[in-house]
Amino acid sequence: MTGLIMRSTGSWYEVLLDNEDRIVSCRIVGKLKLERDNITNPVAVGDKVELELENQQQGIINSILPRKNFIARQSPKSRLQIHLIACNIDQAMLITSMREPDLKPGFIDRFLLTTEPQNIPVLIVFNKWDIYTDKNKREFEEIKTIYEQIGYEVIAASSLNNLGIDQLKEKLKNKTTLISGQSGVGKSSLINKLSPGLDLKTSKLSGYSGKGIHTTTFAEMFKLDFDGFIIDTPGIKSLSFNNLSVMDVAHNFREFFEISDKCRFGSNCSHRNEPDCAVKSEIEKGTISEIRYKNYLNVVEEIEAMNYWERNKKF
């Protein structure tokens, strides 16, 4: 018997049985926990699994079927381990905003480092359009141009006045979509507008800090009111990549990698101090975004600083 992981709550997994439209609670056999020691969770939402039923409500997961892709984050417990967020997705939808909360510098590019290695298409959604100032709207157009030029789709939306809702529904139809975003950007409100039957819990920004309050505490898959699935994930407050190397980052800024063969050192160029770097040349010409390049430098400098600390820390 096979099924689809809809939700994980620690040692138990809720599995939608194939061809039955019924959910059962399952545990995993011990050997699955030992197969990959660099992954904190052997099974993730979106995984297709083989299982045996113990009764009408419970079962045992015996194996995980091959994954077509996955999205993972560095484990908060160890920089050498990764935590699987979701598997087998068709696309990701990143929800952010220019206001309440403000867009974090580098946030979009950090998220794209989780999808680009798996070639997962990303739709970037700027929510809360109804509260944008004229300055916000100009800044949005600048950002939209940057990301559309390198192949990402960018949409303005508002759950309050229905802006972009029909367009987003079309994007979600017949697909499994991971939905992520900064804490407090109105992710749950937007999902409820797209699929009212889900009735996800929502929350306002913290009045004290002005930061988002998590309304989702774990990844969970839902069937949409129309054909398709979404995977709702906890709001993101920060993304670190100390499990990656500098070259991992360089190869996953897509416009950098596309022209790296023109660098003197080819795909081994880190696009920083090397001579005859094609990426830096294109930045000077204005054909590659200086904002993206600064975000890239911030990530690689953070990685190198953490690696230096790890090498030199004393016990």
Q: What's the pLDDT tens digit per position in 87-138?
A: 999 999 999 999 999 998 899 999 999 999 999 999 999 999 999 999 999 9
Find the mean pLDDT for residues 160-175.
96
The span from the CA of 5 to the CA of 198, in Å, is 18
CB-based burial of residue 210 (10 Å sphere; 0-12 exposed, 13-18 middle, 19+ buried)? exposed
More confident residue, 198 or 229: 229
Domain made up of 70-232: CATH architecture: 3-Layer(aba) Sandwich (3.40)
More confident residue, 239 or 295: 295
* The predicted structure's pLDDT at residue 260: 97
Q: Which of 7-21, 86-100, 107-121, 237-251 has the lowest mean pLDDT?
A: 237-251
Fold (CATH) for 246-312: Ribonucleotide Reductase Protein R1; domain 1 (1.10.40)
Contact 86, 219 (CB under 8 A): yes
User: Per residue, what are the HEC states of the chain?
Assistant: CEEEEEEECCCCEEEEECCCCCEEEEEECHHHHHCCCCECCCCCECCEEEEEECCCCEEEEEEECCCCCEEEEECCCCCCCEEEEEECCCEEEEEECCCCCCCCCCHHHHHHHHHHHHCCCEEEEECCHHHCCHHHHHHHHHHHHHHHHCCCEEEECECCCCECHHHHHHHHCCCEEEEEEECCCCHHHHHHHHCHHHCCCCCCCCCCCCCCCCCCCCCEEEECCCCCEEEECCCECCCCCCCCCHHHHHHCCHHHHHHHHHCCCHHHCCCCCCCCCHHHHHHHHCCCCHHHHHHHHHHHHHHHHHHHHHHHCCC
Highest-pLDDT range among 88-92, 204-208, 309-313: 88-92
For domain 2-64, the CATH superfamily is Nucleic acid-binding proteins (2.40.50.140)
Percent of the chain with pLDDT over 70: 87
Quick check: 238 pLDDT over 70?
Answer: no
Each domain of the chain, given as residue ranges in start order, spans 2-64, 70-232, 246-312
Confidence of residue 212 (pLDDT cuts 50, 70, 90): very low
Residues in Cβ contact with 269 at an 8 Å cutoff, skipping those fewer than 6 apart: 250, 260, 263, 277, 278, 279
Quick check: 211 pLDDT over 70?
Answer: no
Mean pLDDT of the chain: 88
Confidence of residue 201 (pLDDT cuts 50, 70, 90): confident
- Phi, psi dihedral angles at 250 (to 5 degrees): -60, -40
Quick check: 204 pLDDT over 80?
Answer: no
Find the mean pLDDT for residues 69-86.
80
More confident residue, 219 or 241: 219
Quick check: 315 pLDDT over 50?
Answer: no
* The predicted structure's pLDDT at residue 79: 64
CB-based burial of residue 11 (10 Å sphere; 0-12 exposed, 13-18 middle, 19+ buried)? exposed
Quick check: 81 pLDDT over 50?
Answer: yes
Quick check: 243 pLDDT over 80?
Answer: no
